[in-house]
Amino acid sequence: MTASFRPHRRRTGLAAAAATAVAFGLLPTVIAPPAGAAGAAEGFRVQLVTVDTPNRAAKALLSGLGLDMTEHAGHDYVEVVLHRAADAEALRAAGLTWNVRIPDLAERESEINTANRAYAASTQESPLPSGRDTYRDLADYNDDLGRLAAIRPDLVKKFALNHKSLEGKTVYGVEIGHNVRATEDGRPVFLMMGLHHAREWPSGEHAIEFAYDLVKNYGSDDRITNLLKKARVVVVPVVNVDGFEKSVNDGQLIDLRSVDDGGTASILATPGNAYKRKNCRIVDGQAPVAGECALVSSPGGFGAGVDPNRNYGGFWGGPGAAAEPVQATYRGAGPFSEPETQNIRELVSTRQVTALITNHTFSNLVLRPNGVAPDTIGPDGQPIGDPPDEAALKDLGDRMAAQNGYTSQHSWQLYDTTGSTEDWSYNATGGFGYTFEIGPDEFHPPFPKVIDEYLGVGEFAGKGNREAYLIALEHAVDARTHSVIAGKAPAGATLRLKKTFATPTWSGAIKDTLDTTMVVGAGGKYSWHVNPSTRPVVKAKQIKVISSEPLKRETFTGTTLPAMPTDKEFTVDRAADVFEVKLDWPTPDDLDLRVFRKNADGTLTEAGSSAGSVGVKERVFLENPEQGTYVLRVENWASVAPSWTMTAALFDATERTAGGLIENWTLSCEKNGRVLQQLPVVVDRNQQVKADLGLCAQKWTTG
């Protein structure tokens, strides 16, 4: 490592601020009895719990409670932060069960801070590209972005995004590439982002470490050098600057120390805003007054603000995005209502971003579009279906996940989301987009874990997210994965690609414009790497249509007493595409449905279940069911003796193509802002077309 890349030492301002705050009574000092002693439960401890969600209905039920859901979820669970006793009561009232995984997040935060101090004290510089040995605060990020530009001004350009935060802060990024300060030259763009969600500190660390990695190794690593000659890389490590500042400042202040009586003294009684998720929008349409965001009464700040990753325009307002401001996934007053999403929208809309990664924590996942299941009926009345590029999206996701050991899957397999980054970016531009959920089990684990996730550990040593990011960058520059427009034009001419269209939300549409430029080089030839002219959201898609007549159907009726389940058997005796079981009853009571496959030894294996809220009728939907005997179980949770009707049926299904438009770019050739020629260009993925700009050349000398 050269002297230019030696790590700068950590700031000591947080420790000084903590001491000052205690001295002047700005933060409470509390004495808590030892764990397990009488009175230990005097106040509710903010905790991380694993909620059982055996099916999509249970996930939907949980989503509707307005609790602080994390991105750590599987097919039968979602982890949730409980900030107050009322949150636990909401789970209990909904009939959901859970296990406590971290019983006191303040105590855990203190343990992490202690571990981080010990690591930093014993480490001159870490193995990370920057040598960093502890988490950055907001000032550190801004300093590092400036430092990168100062180290290699020919390679790195620091810039401010268009919109300041609600609290008036400037959001910064860097652009990295060979001869980066030259005019736009038609290279594709790879975008890397972090910290949409305030508490997800490793997401920003990985984004900026990738920037350091590229800058450090340019000129000495052939792979990176060649990539930066072919692409421009844009890194915005902190999208949500207001929220992150509150989270990291409060989180690093937590310092529980043993005292003589065996209790614990704390300079912060709760995690404060350490686990804040959203931005600082307190009241829709209004900027917060000074200090309002940090002092808002919502526990942990989780109920205050707009979730930036539900505020993007694509499918805004649909499943998985809350309508109420107090809920953790509040989508905002309207699509792109927040400066955070306006910044990223304008960044993507003015560059040909052929691939992007938005980093989050936690779950060890590589997520790809779409955010809702393909059988979900969309705003056009048709099933959403899979993305038209599903095979290629999956292939790249799988290749990246092979480097870090993460699971590659659809976003909706975590839980339904709409208004997320890729919901908009992929469907509006065609550039591939992914969410990385970094780490297995915590929002901001001990810092050495951040290092392990970036560089890889164990069987993934030397790979990790670093290698996954490089594979994504290789995808971004590969002309086979996007489109190319080439030809001849006057040297110095500005070429402009523009397209204005309606982006569908869940209840309407918004106007979107993509407007990008490049400047023709001295040779008069150009090759412009761009996204396809037809957006994925309007391309033809394959949807599965179930036949109206079943292959086989049986109807069962009965009455189920409380705590006395009723079982019925149904035999799948032929090949079928779909096995559907529907449970109905005439009262607004609560029944649940479980479907088991009977094994040869008589044991049962659960194949599906449905456990909606009171009044919601149950349905289990199994694709390509194995032949054999199934047990259909009715369970009674909220009625003295309800009667019910259950229907089991097998269906064939056919795939059909829905929709299918062809769109064009409008290509302009300009001189000093004057359009000399304009023509439509239709270009598909993995296609190169030539654009005839002869008229522009003819007018150039007189234009």
Catalytic positions, written as ranges: 437
Q: Which conformational region is residue 302 in: left (phi greater than 0), alpha (psi within -120 to 50 degrees), or beta?
A: alpha
> How far is the C-alpha of 510 from the C-alpha of 524, rounded, in Å?
38
Nearest-10 crossing angle of helices 13-23, 241-253: 70
Are the C-beta atoms of residues 315 and 371 closer than 8 Å to each other?
yes
> How far is the C-alpha of 137 from the C-alpha of 400, rounded, in Å?
28
> How far is the C-alpha of 328 from the C-alpha of 443, rounded, in Å?
15
Checking DSSP bridges between strand 541-546 and strand 483-488, what pairing results, if any?
A: unpaired
3-state SS, residue 470: helix
> How far is the C-alpha of 700 from the C-alpha of 640, rounded, in Å?
85
> How far is the C-alpha of 247 from the C-alpha of 202, rounded, in Å?
13
> How far is the C-alpha of 629 from the C-alpha of 597, rounded, in Å?
6
> How far is the C-alpha of 308 from the C-alpha of 331, rounded, in Å?
7
> How far is the C-alpha of 392 from the C-alpha of 396, rounded, in Å?
6
> How far is the C-alpha of 195 from the C-alpha of 443, rounded, in Å?
11
CA 474 to chain centroid: 21
The two counts, helices (H) then strands (E), for the chain are: 15, 32
> How far is the C-alpha of 95 from the C-alpha of 638, rounded, in Å?
10
Half-sphere exposure of 327 (CA within 13 A, CB side): 16
Q: ω before 672 within 30° of 0 (cis)?
A: no
Describe the strand order of the beta sheet including 674-681 as a list of residue ranges: 509-519, 494-504, 665-671, 674-681
Are the C-beta atoms of residues 68 and 307 closer than 8 Å to each other?
no
> How far is the C-alpha of 683 from the C-alpha of 669, rounded, in Å?
18
Name the nearest CA neighbour of 429 among 418, 437, 421: 421
